[in-house]
């Protein structure tokens, strides 16, 4: 058993001292020597070193020096202040505006080394061989293969020249790259083959509807079908001669009409329905509904599927059924009719803030409208799939696994200059299964597909680790850049007797992150940390007791000290997470080089971060337990950590 090493002595500052987001370049450290044993061994002697380093930091701080061979800033020409995509009629595709906002108007350049940039490429998340990628498109299962299409720029690591990349897999993890599926080669999509969805008809036929940007940048909907339905790899696609099959209707802006959904059969007349996102002149987000028999001819229905004032343009709308019955813990086919035990999820990607919002409600198949169960958490004003970097998501029904699978685009939060230097930008999330949480009845559960567990190699268990207030516990696991972590925490119930001042106003974004100390938080794990803790990404819980005596639990992810680099967007993400009576606090974390995906309470709240360490890379990456609360004692009841293998994503070979 490891004893927690407290960095506090005689009232000295804690190991994670309270600082502001603006002081992120002066990362506190206070580190200790790592235990040398291969299993779990007490590390008492290291306390002296730990306290010594902490004391040195309090006096001198740390020197922020660079290591390795730097890439010359003069080799790359990029307009760091430029915006991408907005003029063309889609959401912002550059981090430059956010970097300008956080950096006082100028994008600062960090001296990245080749070693740092090479380390950032992921091992088991999907990404193309090189260049820019964004939205996942048309995922489906066909003749033994999972298919993923995606927005790709084959020429550059920045957005533009959008084509459809294509990959296939037997298990949603080990992907094989195929040739381009579709390119912008007609007047109706010459400015981009944008987001679309696949529908598999009952006779096995596949239709793909997608948005094209015309020569005049008008957004229109187009139809494509496999050239050879007998090819399980679907390597060739034919665009319909009738394209475009839909144009913006009256009252809809020419650049506010995009991203058709997977179609579903109406229970009213057995015809197909699709929905397309848009907005009105009052800046209300909305979803149009079309009826079709043949996917060539469409009727716009007189009622909107749904509209929410003030939410702006809805991109990448998704509508799908979920089981509301505890006895049916499987996904539902998209055309499942509404009725007892069935709810429908409506999701929209909000162009205004670049987040994916969802709500659970009732789809009326006769009126073709959807109504939220709770109007206070309607689409765009309530729950999100993910409270970090996650956008333009798309689900599909997997008939083999009888599950609903969710994909999400995980963009970069570094500078375009860095992306050009490394030669690529963006990854896809780990595919997640989606179920309704029948225990709360108010939210979804998202969880990595079970196939991820096939990547698990070496594992270690740490059970019953006590973490005292203000302490950090190192975990000796060996390599720490490709991990699957499952942790269950118990909190000393006696600590909940005091009502904390300011509890009603706490939030992850304004609470100081992992260094903002409270009575019952923060506590959790530090991943992608270096030995001295000058870099670390914190995944943590923060509990507060309100005036009504009830505990509220926040789940947060702190990137502020994830890297010494300064040309990054770093934030503290997170939100509330429901915790029912008798439940312990649980986290699952997937670490894959520059991406950290975290799931609390079985997936009730999820957070994804892109992080770019300069020191906590390769063999220097470490993991720690921490408790920066002032009074609560926390026990890691169960902690399991596996090193994950690479998915070895590569081109398909006949």
Dump pLDDT digits (tens) for 97-106. Answer: 777 555 555 5
Bond before 221 cis per omega within 30 degrees: no
Do the bridges between strand 432-436 and strand 444-448 make them parallel or antiparallel, or are there none, so unpaired? Answer: antiparallel
Lowest-pLDDT range of 73-77, 136-140, 542-546, 612-616: 73-77
- DSSP E strands in 337-467: the ranges are 342-350, 355-364, 369-372, 383-384, 391-398, 403-410, 424-425, 427-428, 432-436, 444-448, 456-467
Helix (H, G, I), strand (E, B) or coil at 447: strand
Dump pLDDT digits (tens) for 125-179. Answer: 999 999 999 999 999 999 999 999 999 999 999 999 999 999 999 999 999 999 9
Strand order in the sheet with 163-169: 424-425, 131-142, 145-153, 163-169, 175-182, 650-651
What pLDDT band is residue 387 in, cutting at 50, 70 and 90?
very high
The CA-atom distances, in angstroms, between 313 and each of 216, 282, 398, 502, 530 are 20, 11, 29, 35, 42
Token pair listed for 44: 């008492």
List 10, 27, 64, 135, catalytic entry:
135
Give pLDDT, residue 499: 61
b vs e for 158-191, b when ≥16 Cβ sit within 10 Å of the residue's Cβ?
bbebbbbbbbbbeebbbbbebeebbebebebbbb
What pLDDT band is residue 519 in, cutting at 50, 70 and 90?
very high
Token pair listed for 173: 């993890």
- Fold that domain 132-425 belongs to in CATH: Tachylectin-2; Chain A (2.115.10)
Helix (H, G, I), strand (E, B) or coil at 432: strand
* Residue 100: its H or E element: helix 96-102
CA torsion, ordered 476, 531, 423, 86, to nearest 10 deg: 100
| Per-position DSSP letters for 538-601, written without gaps between them | EEEEEEEE-TTS-EEEEEEEE-TTS-S-SSS---EEEEE----TTPPEEEEEEEETTEEEEEET
CA nearest neighbour of 507 among 538, 470, 552, 551: 552
Give pLDDT, residue 321: 98
Give pLDDT, residue 527: 98
Helix (H, G, I), strand (E, B) or coil at 515: helix
Dump pLDDT digits (tens) for 574-617. Answer: 999 999 999 999 999 999 999 999 999 999 999 999 999 999 99
Token pair listed for 143: 């003749």
b vs e for 577-597, b when ≥16 Cβ sit within 10 Å of the residue's Cβ?
bbbeeeeebbbbbbbbbbbbb
Token pair listed for 101: 């906002």
Name which residue leads in pLDDT, 557 or 65.
557
Work out the burial of residue 105: count CB atoms within 10 Å of its CB; fewer than 13 is exposed, 13-18 middle, 19 or more buried: exposed
In this structure, the chain runs to a length of 654
Is 135 annotated in the active site?
Answer: yes
Dump pLDDT digits (tens) for 455-475. Answer: 999 999 999 999 999 999 999
Dump pLDDT digits (tens) for 237-291. Answer: 999 999 999 999 999 999 999 999 999 999 989 899 999 999 999 999 999 999 9
Residues 415 and 103: their CA atoms lie apart, in Å, by 12
Residues 272 and 269: their CA atoms lie apart, in Å, by 9
CA torsion, ordered 508, 510, 513, 519, to nearest 10 deg: -80
Half-sphere exposure in the Cβ direction for 420 (13 Å, CA):
17
Q: What angle do CA 287, 288, 292 make, to 5 degrees?
A: 135
Residues 629 and 540: their CA atoms lie apart, in Å, by 11
User: What's the mean per-residue pLDDT of the chain?
Assistant: 88
Residues 289 and 426: their CA atoms lie apart, in Å, by 31
Every domain range in the chain assigned CATH 2.115.10.20:
132-425
Which residues on adjacent β-strands are paired with residue 285?
A: 279, 308
Dump pLDDT digits (tens) for 322-345. Answer: 999 999 999 999 999 999 999 999
Whether the pLDDT of residue 19 is over 70: the answer is no
Token pair listed for 273: 């329905």
Residues 159 and 344: their CA atoms lie apart, in Å, by 33
Residues 555 and 46: their CA atoms lie apart, in Å, by 31
Do the bridges between strand 175-182 and strand 650-651 make them parallel or antiparallel, or are there none, so unpaired? Answer: parallel
Give pLDDT, residue 7: 38
What is 451-651's CATH superfamily?
Exo-inulinase; domain 1 (2.60.120.560)
Q: Are 336 and 399 in contact (CB under 8 A)?
A: no
Give pLDDT, residue 497: 62
Work out the burial of residue 530: count CB atoms within 10 Å of its CB; fewer than 13 is exposed, 13-18 middle, 19 or more buried: buried
Residue 13: which residues within 8 A CB-CB, separation 6 or more? Answer: 7, 28, 54, 58
Helix (H, G, I), strand (E, B) or coil at 10: coil
Whether the pLDDT of residue 11 is over 60: the answer is no
Q: Are 351 and 327 in contact (CB under 8 A)?
A: no
Residues 559 and 21: their CA atoms lie apart, in Å, by 10
What pLDDT band is residue 92 in, cutting at 50, 70 and 90?
confident
Q: Residue holding tokens 């390599």? A: 479
Residues 272 and 154: their CA atoms lie apart, in Å, by 34
Every domain range in the chain assigned CATH 2.60.120.560:
451-651
| Backbone φ and ψ of 537, nearest 5° | -110, 120
What pLDDT band is residue 439 in, cutting at 50, 70 and 90?
very high
Work out the burial of residue 225: count CB atoms within 10 Å of its CB; fewer than 13 is exposed, 13-18 middle, 19 or more buried: middle
Residues 422 and 414: their CA atoms lie apart, in Å, by 11
| Per-position DSSP letters for 328-363, written without gaps between them | --S---TTPPPBTTEEEEEEEEETTTTEEEEEEEEE
| pTM for this predicted structure | 0.88
Residue 30: which residues within 8 A CB-CB, separation 6 or more? Answer: 7, 15, 50, 51, 53, 54, 57, 532, 533
């Amino acid at each position: 058993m490891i004893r927690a090493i407290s960095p506090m002595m005689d009232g000295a500052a804690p190991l994670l001292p309270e600082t502001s987001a603006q002081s992120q370049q002066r990362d506190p450290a206070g580190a200790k020597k790592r235990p040398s044993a291969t299993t779990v061994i007490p590390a008492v002697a290291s306390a002296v070193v730990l306290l010594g380093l902490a004391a040195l930091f309090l006096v001198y701080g740390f020197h922020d020096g660079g290591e390795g061979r730097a890439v010359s800033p003069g080799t790359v020409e990029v307009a760091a202040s430029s915006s991408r995509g907005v003029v063309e009629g889609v959401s912002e595709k550059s981090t430059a505006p956010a970097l300008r906002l956080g950096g006082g108007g100028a994008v600062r350049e960090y001296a990245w080394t080749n070693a740092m940039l090479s380390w950032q490429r992921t091992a088991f998340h999907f990404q193309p061989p090189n260049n820019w990628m964004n939205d996942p498109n048309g995922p489906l299962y066909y003749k033994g293969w999972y298919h993923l299409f995606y927005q790709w720029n084959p020429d550059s690591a920045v957005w533009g020249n959008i084509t459809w990349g294509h990959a296939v897999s037997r298990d949603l993890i080990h992907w094989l790259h195929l040739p381009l599926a579709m390119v912008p080669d007609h007047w109706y999509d010459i400015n981009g083959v944008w987001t679309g969805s696949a529908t598999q008809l009952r006779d096995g036929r596949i239709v793909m509807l997608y948005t094209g940007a015309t020569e005049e940048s008008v957004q229109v909907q187009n139809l494509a079908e496999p050239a050879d339905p007998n090819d399980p790899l679907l390597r060739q696609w034919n665009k319909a001669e009738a394209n475009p099959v839909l144009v913006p209707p009256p009252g809809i802006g020419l650049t506010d009409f995009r991203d058709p959904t997977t179609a579903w059969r109406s229970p009213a007349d057995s015809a197909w329905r699709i929905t397309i996102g848009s907005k009105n002149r009052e800046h209300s987000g909305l979803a149009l509904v079309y009826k079709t028999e043949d996917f060539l001819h469409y009727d716009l229905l007189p009622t909107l599927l749904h509209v929410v004032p003030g939410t702006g343009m809805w991109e990448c709308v998704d509508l799908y059924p979920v089981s509301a019955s505890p006895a049916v813990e499987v996904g539902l086919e998209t055309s499942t009719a509404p009725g007892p035990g069935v709810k429908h999820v409506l999701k929209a990607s909000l162009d205004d803030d670049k987040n994916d919002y969802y709500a659970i409600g009732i789809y009326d198949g006769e009126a073709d409208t959807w109504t939220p169960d709770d109007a206070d958490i309607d689409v765009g004003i309530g729950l999100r799939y993910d409270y970090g970097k996650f956008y333009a998501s798309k689900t599909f029904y997997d008939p083999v696994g009888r599950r609903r699978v969710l994909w999400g685009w995980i963009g970069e939060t570094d500078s375009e200059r860095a992306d050009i230097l490394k030669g690529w930008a963006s990854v896809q999330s780990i595919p997640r299964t989606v179920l309704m949480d029948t225990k709360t009845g108010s939210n979804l559960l998202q969880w990595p597909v079970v196939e991820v567990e096939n990547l698990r190699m070496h594992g270690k268990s740490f059970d019953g680790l006590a973490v005292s207030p203000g302490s950090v516990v190192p975990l000796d696991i060996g390599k720490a850049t490709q991990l699957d972590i499952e942790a269950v925490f118990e909190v000393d119930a006696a600590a909940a007797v005091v009502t904390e001042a300011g509890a009603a106003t706490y939030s992850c974004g304004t609470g100081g992150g992992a260094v903002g100390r409270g009575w019952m938080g923060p506590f959790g794990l530090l991943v992608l940390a270096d030995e001295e803790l000058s870099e670390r990404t914190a995944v943590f819980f923060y509990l507060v007791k309100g005036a009504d005596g009830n505990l509220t639990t926040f789940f947060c992810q702190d990137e502020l000290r994830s890297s010494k680099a300064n040309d990054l967007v770093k934030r503290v993400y997170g939100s509330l997470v429901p915790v029912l009576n008798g439940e312990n606090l649980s986290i699952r974390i997937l670490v894959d080089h520059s991406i950290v995906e975290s799931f609390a309470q079985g997936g009730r709240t999820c957070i994804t971060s892109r992080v770019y360490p300069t020191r906590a890379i390769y063999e220097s990456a470490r993991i720690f337990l921490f408790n920066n609360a002032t009074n609560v004692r926390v026990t890691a009841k169960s902690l399991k950590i596996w090193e994950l293998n690479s998915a070895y994503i590569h081109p398909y070979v006949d």
